[in-house]
Amino acid sequence: MLRIIISRLFQAIPTLFGVATLVFLLLHLVPGDPVDALLGETAMATDREALRVALHLDQPIGVQYMHYLQGLMHGDWGHSIINKHDVLDEIMERLAATVKLAAASLLLAVLLAIPLGYFAARHRGRSVDTAAMGFALLGVSIPNFWLGPMLILFFSVMLGWLPVSGMSQPGSMILPTITLGTALAAILSRMARSSWLEAIHMDACRTARAFGVSEATIWWRHAARLAVVPVLTLFALQLGAVLGGAVITETVFDWPGLGLLTIESIQRRDYPMVQGCVLMIASFYVLANLLADLLNLWLDPRQRHAA
């Protein structure tokens, strides 16, 4: 198992290198100038040139790129162009809020998806199945940037029950959690339903039924054990997607996490901070894929022996 983990980690290095390279090039190709963000377009030419030299923006893009890669290899993610703060330190400060929101969203997703998937599979073709899968379809179809404002409009503006934005007030986590967690719950519930329906027709469940085991026990003990593998795999893969979705959700609710920091840095043309934020999100995607692979190997001995 240790050999497999080391192998997967080495495979992740080219992926992260490609992400760092792509983000660096894209940021330098988009319109805009960080000097304008700092001094304004009306600043004197001498001041603009002096700042450009101080920020090393006067160097060729190839030189800037090599300097960036050398910093990454030494654990130096650079410093913010805007406030001079260390990029990695500021990311870690914001990451706590994002992890808090992601954990609550994942918990909500599991609490919704497992019962929905079970009842939909248990009552396949009936009204319960139709209602559960209808919810799943809505959850997948409705984007976060629409659901979030609608929740704010109803629960915050019209009813006044919950705060509009931020994370300092009681109940401030409820609306962002619902916005981020419902889409994941929809995906997981569909997977849980299909996995349960496939597992209930396997030989292990037929044998248990032949020995007189109750249907409830077959569904929750035997079939659930067989169905959990693809559900856990999808759950692990969605860990990275939750952080990606947090970029939109945190912007809508002004949640002071990594997603909001990414958007703010893009708007201010803060190249080092944007590169650091995207690289951190990409790292979580890579770790999520690694976790999914390890779960598959742990739960399925056939894959473990094949690897």
pLDDT on residue 294: 76
Statement: residue 296 has pLDDT above 80: no
State the chain's maximal CA–CA distance in angstroms. 87
Spell out the alpha helix ranges (H) of 142-269.
144-151, 174-199, 203-210, 215-217, 224-253, 258-267
pLDDT in tens, 80-123: 888 888 999 999 999 999 999 999 999 999 999 999 999 999 88
The residue segments making up the domain with residue 99 are 87-306
Cα gap 160→207, rounded to integer Å: 55
- Let me know whether 13 and 65 are in one domain: yes
The verdict on residue 27 lying in a domain is: yes
Which of 43, 73, 103 finishes a domain?
Answer: 73
The verdict on residue 63 lying in a domain is: yes
Considering its fold, how many domains does the chain have in total? 2
The verdict on residue 82 lying in a domain is: no
- Let me know whether 278 and 162 are in one domain: yes
Statement: residue 304 has pLDDT above 60: no
Phi and psi at 128, nearest 5°, equal -65, -45
- Let me know whether 91 and 233 are in one domain: yes
The verdict on residue 81 lying in a domain is: no
- Let me know whether 124 and 186 are in one domain: yes
Least confident range from 119-133, 168-182, 233-247, 256-270: namely: 233-247
The verdict on residue 80 lying in a domain is: no
pLDDT on residue 37: 65
pLDDT in tens, 33-74: 677 666 666 777 777 778 777 767 778 888 888 888 888 888
The verdict on residue 128 lying in a domain is: yes
Least confident range from 47-51, 132-136, 141-145, 222-226: namely: 47-51
29 against 307, higher pLDDT:
29
Statement: residue 9 has pLDDT above 80: no
- Let me know whether 36 and 141 are in one domain: no
- Let me know whether 129 and 36 are in one domain: no
- Let me know whether 260 and 116 are in one domain: yes
The verdict on residue 297 lying in a domain is: yes
* Band (140; pLDDT cuts 50, 70, 90): confident
- Let me know whether 98 and 13 are in one domain: no
How far lies 170's CA from each of 31, 162, 180, in Å?
A: 40, 8, 19
108 against 1, higher pLDDT:
108
- Let me know whether 99 and 64 are in one domain: no
pLDDT on residue 107: 92
Within 13 Å of residue 245, how many CA atoms lie on the same side as its CB? Answer: 26
Which of 50, 73, 96 finishes a domain?
Answer: 73
Which amino acid type is present at position 304?
R
- Report the mean per-residue pLDDT for the chain: 83
The verdict on residue 280 lying in a domain is: yes
- Let me know whether 50 and 174 are in one domain: no
- Let me know whether 16 and 161 are in one domain: no
Which of 12, 44, 73 finishes a domain?
Answer: 73
- Let me know whether 230 and 269 are in one domain: yes
What's the token pair of residue 94? Answer: 């914001």
Q: What is the CATH number of the domain that holds 283?
A: 1.10.3720.10
Through-space distance between the first and last CA atoms of the chain, rounded to whole angstroms: 9
